[in-house]
Chains A and B, each alone.
Chain A
Amino acid sequence: MSSRVVVTGAGVISSIGAGADDFERGLYAGTTGVGPSQLFGEGATTAEVRDFAPQNWLGPKGLRVLDRSARLVCVSSHMALCEAGLSQADAAEGDPGLGLICGTMFGSLHSITSFDWSGLTEGPNLVNPMAFPNTVINSPAGHAAIKHKLRGVNSTICAGLASGLYAMHYAAEFLRFGRAKALLAGGVEELCEESFLGFRKMGAASASGSIRPFAADRDGSVLGDGSALWMLETEDAACARGLRPVLEVGGFGSAHDAHSTSAFDVRADGATSAIRQALAASEIGPEQIACIISGASGSRAGDLMEARALRNVFGDLLGGIPVSAPKAAFGEGLGVSGAFCALAGGLALHRQSAPPTAGYKESEFGLRLSAEAQPFQGKHVLINAFGCDGNNAALVLNLRT
């Protein structure tokens, strides 16, 4: 039996588009989702999902008790299940072979804070019991399982900005071991006042309100939110269903800097190691990477760290490899960002064209970025997700021919 794991569907909701087609259009048009916030008022700049209306996908019932994260991941799961032809909407019981692996960073932070706030201001006896289940970090994944009858493995992975890629790898391993039939994998992150204020206080927010990855005048990041999931299956299972998937999840690498909980390690040891592991696990050399999807988000130290890691691994090859930094479009999505970038990498491989980096002018690191799409020929794309919490992950995607 083949242990290859392939992509048979995608669901995404983001500031640049809802649904894989919209996301692709927005990304390749070079548009950005960075703009005035609806959540915090026009004075604030975010890359949030605007005019979010989950009932458009989920119907009007059953939304009341879901927090924003749960709504986002229920929508992206719905999309991915439908695209893969695995929706359980008409099934009485649901499928024990279907599961969800969800990455997130702050998860339920806002639900926890709201519950606490209510206890403090109204008294511990008057907290809303229906709001309590939402305070656990795996409640969004649980709600998605209930809504879509996913009776298989259900796990939430919390690994900072690398969460989305960790989730995809974890799901791929589950499938390779034959322990599931089909798994949704990716991430979700909701933008909330708590993360927004914390991010700003830490000095990570862009003062100018724009993301300029790798630029000399970059001044920080802009938070985004949303959810992105792939439907993953073994190639055998997908082919048995009559599908001809072209996208394969390749090697994965991860390393913790063990340096700080809030500052990038600019020596880039962890990031370098993560990329090298991903290439080794894919049994390919750096010269076979045709395109790089960077996790750079305009952070002074973070972008420097990633540029160093890329230089360490690719050396003189680097100037010839198209690089895309799509967070300029969908913002710094924290726990979902790896999954957003993986979807962008999948599109790049499929179209043989690196997505534009929105608003890009010049890199101070000699990287081949562009405000236009960059065509390439090749079978392997590298996705990076590095975080200031020390978590670093890299994933290779392969094109099946």
Chain B
Amino acid sequence: MNVTAEDIRTEVKRLIAEVTERTPEEISDTALFQDELGVDSLMAMEVMVAVDKKYKINIPEEEFAKIKNVDDTVAVVQRYLGEAA
């Protein structure tokens, strides 16, 4: 799948905006999901399931704990996309 980092970034921001009831513009690349945006574990799982579904990958749950912000998410998605390719 030919997906750029910017595509993933846009999608992740859209999803985080949706679960936190903000606009995508309010989501920065480095804002901390839990401490700054109020993303709880269930919301994080919702985003990850949506990402898995969108990119047809399977990010294991143990990765979730390592993901703190949009930049981290983009990197993880790219890594698993690379493995899937």
List A residues at the B interface (Cβ < 8 Å): 60-62, 64, 122, 125-130, 133
Which of the residues B21, B45, B49, B52 comes within 8 Å of A64, measured between beta carbons? B21
Contact indicator B42/A126 (Cβ below 8 Å): no
Distance (whole angstroms) from the CB of A163 to the closest CB of chain B: 29
Distance (whole angstroms) from the CB of B66 to the closest CB of chain A: 19
Q: Given contacts A61-B21, A62-B21, A64-B21, is CB(A126)–CB(B45) below 8 Å? A: no
Which of the residues B18, B42, B53, B58 comes within 8 Å of A129, measured between beta carbons? B42
User: How many B residues have CB within 8 A of the partner chain?
Assistant: 12
Q: Given contacts A61-B21, A64-B21, is CB(A126)–CB(B43) below 8 Å? A: no
Contact indicator A129/B45 (Cβ below 8 Å): yes
Chain B residues contacting A122 (CB-CB under 8 Å) are 53
Contact indicator A127/B18 (Cβ below 8 Å): no
Chain A residues contacting B18 (CB-CB under 8 Å) are 64
List B residues at the A interface (Cβ < 8 Å): 18-19, 21, 42-43, 45-46, 49-50, 52-53, 58
Contact indicator B49/A129 (Cβ below 8 Å): yes
A-B contact pairs, 6 of them (CB 8 A): A61-B21, A64-B19, A64-B21, A125-B49, A125-B52, A129-B49
Contact indicator A130/B52 (Cβ below 8 Å): no
Contact indicator A128/B21 (Cβ below 8 Å): no
Q: Which of B43, B46, B58 has the most CB of A within 10 A?
A: B46
Distance (whole angstroms) from the CB of B20 to the closest CB of chain A: 10
Chain B residues contacting A60 (CB-CB under 8 Å) are 21
Contact indicator B42/A130 (Cβ below 8 Å): yes
Contact indicator B21/A126 (Cβ below 8 Å): no
Which A-chain residue is minimally distant from B22 (CB atoms)? Answer: A61
